[in-house]
Amino acid sequence: MSCGASPRDHHPIRKKRQRLSPVLASPRRLPDFPVFIDPPDLTPWENGNNGIAGVIERDSGRPGPEITVVSLIHGNEFAGALAMDRLLREDIRPICGVMRFVFANINAFRHFQPNNPTASRFISEDLNRVWSADRLHQPSGSSEMERALELLPIIQRTDLLLDLHSMLWDSTPLYISPSTRSSIALAEMLSSREDTQFLTLTDLGHMGGSRLIEHERFISPGKSRGSVLLEAGQHWQQETVETSIRVIRLFVEKAAHLYFDTSRAEHGLTCHATVTDNIVARSASFAFTRPYKGGHIIESAGTVIATDGDDEIFTPYDHCVLIMPNLCVRRGQLAVRLARRL
Ligand SMILES: [Zn+2]
């Protein structure tokens, strides 16, 4: 199904199959993903230095924003944690204000096993779906909810947030930001160098619940607060660590400029797309017509990109960006998100 608002000039996305389309034989079980990086040794940071485990705080002693970099919201995505570990060892510090580095789901991370690398994403539930006021006010029923509540006082003080993630399937890096001006300005700031210039995506939220970047702290309009999620590349590639390092450095260097110069939020993004449709597999035989890489652009509207049982899935407009296609999707799961370049 496609959910959310679709612009009127959309072509239809799903039609009954008229003929046999060429279909990629999609694997029914996940392939083996090689792990090219070793998990970081988090011993120096596990206890934290401000009273919360896994939270390292560095205060410049000068007035300025409170900025937070988060890794390991997903326990098996440790490229961001490797980047943070390296920068902490190099003694990275904020120019003004307070900087915090958060290693979020350390419990899940501890269960990482290279021969089953996708299993340690979380212990009982996804830590990136629990950040709505509703969920945070319910009694904690999982290891992840407990951790969210433990981290909440930090989130509630954060002016600018960078949340580090990575992707299972091969894809070009991208930023995901709430569609508030200050978050988009933050994404633009992070895209301001050639080697950190990636597509910025605004979207319909996540189907499963609120992500950390959507915590009310960051989405209330008119405040100089913002959040961005970085999808830095494939989970276990060295390049993903390097990309994370470049983006964190830029974030720490430039956050104060953004915080004090609110006129920046008036600028438009040069490389921006918005998600129009979430395509969910309705059948057990959903298959893409090619092994698409995330970030791939389909030039023409009406191109068949997948079949799903008796249906074909078409691109609804020209220059359609495929966001994180899941090449091994199961029935009921999100197969791909479609985004329109703005
Ligand atoms: Zn993630």
Residue 258: which of 170, 166, 190 has the closest Cα?
Answer: 190
Looking at residue 224, what is its pLDDT?
A: 79
Q: How far is the CA of 9 from the centre of ligand 1 (A)?
A: 32
Spatial separation of the C-alpha atoms in residues 249 and 245, rounded to whole Å = 6
Residues 250-263, mean pLDDT to the nearest whole number: 86
Residue scoring higher pLDDT (268 or 323) = 323
CA of 167 to the centre of ligand 1 (A): 7
Mean pLDDT of 150-155: 97
Distance 197 CA to ligand 1 centre (A): 20
306 in Cβ contact with 233 (< 8 Å): no
What are the tens digits of pLDDT across the range 155-180?
Answer: 999 999 999 999 999 899 999 999 88
Which pLDDT value is given to residue 8? 42
Q: Domains of the chain: which residue ranges?
A: 7-30+271-341, 55-265
Mean pLDDT of 17-36: 71
Q: Which residues of 151-166 are buried (b: 16+ CB within 10 A; e: fewer)?
A: beebbeebbbbbbbbb
Task: Give the pLDDT of residue 259.
Answer: 86
Pairing outcome for strands 304-308 and 287-288? antiparallel
Each residue of 114-135: pLDDT tens digit? 889 989 999 999 999 999 999 9
Ligand 1 center–CA 243 separation, angstroms = 15
pLDDT higher than threshold 90 for residue 19: no
Query: How much distance in Å is there from the Cα of 166 to the middle of ligand 1?
Result: 6
Tokens matching residue 38: 């070793």
What pLDDT digit, counting tens, does each position of 36-83 carry? 999 999 999 999 999 999 999 999 999 999 999 999 999 999 999 999
The number of beta carbons lying within 10 Å of the beta carbon of residue 95 is 14
The reported pLDDT for the residue numbered 71 is 98
Query: How far does residue 275's CA lie from ligand 1's centre (Å)?
Result: 18
CA of 279 to the centre of ligand 1 (A): 19
Please state, rounded to an integer, the average pLDDT across all residues of the chain: 90
**Using CB atoms within 10 A of its CB, is residue 222 exposed (0-12), middle (13-18) or buried (19+)?**
exposed
Cα of 326 vs centre of ligand 1, distance in Å, is: 14
Domain 55-265, what fold?
Answer: Aminopeptidase (3.40.630)
Cα 164 to ligand 1 centroid, rounded to whole Å: 7
Grade residue 3 by pLDDT with cuts at 50, 70 and 90: very low
* Low-confidence winner among 29-38, 39-48, 286-295 (lowest mean pLDDT): 29-38
Q: What is the dihedral of CA 144, 149, 154, 160, to 10 degrees?
A: 60
Q: SS3 for 84?
A: helix
- Looking at residue 278, its pLDDT comes to 92
Closest CA to 308 of 278, 334, 288, 294: 288
Which segment of 52-56, 139-143, 279-283 scores lowest on mean pLDDT? 139-143
Distance from Cα 232 to the centre of ligand 1, integer Å: 10
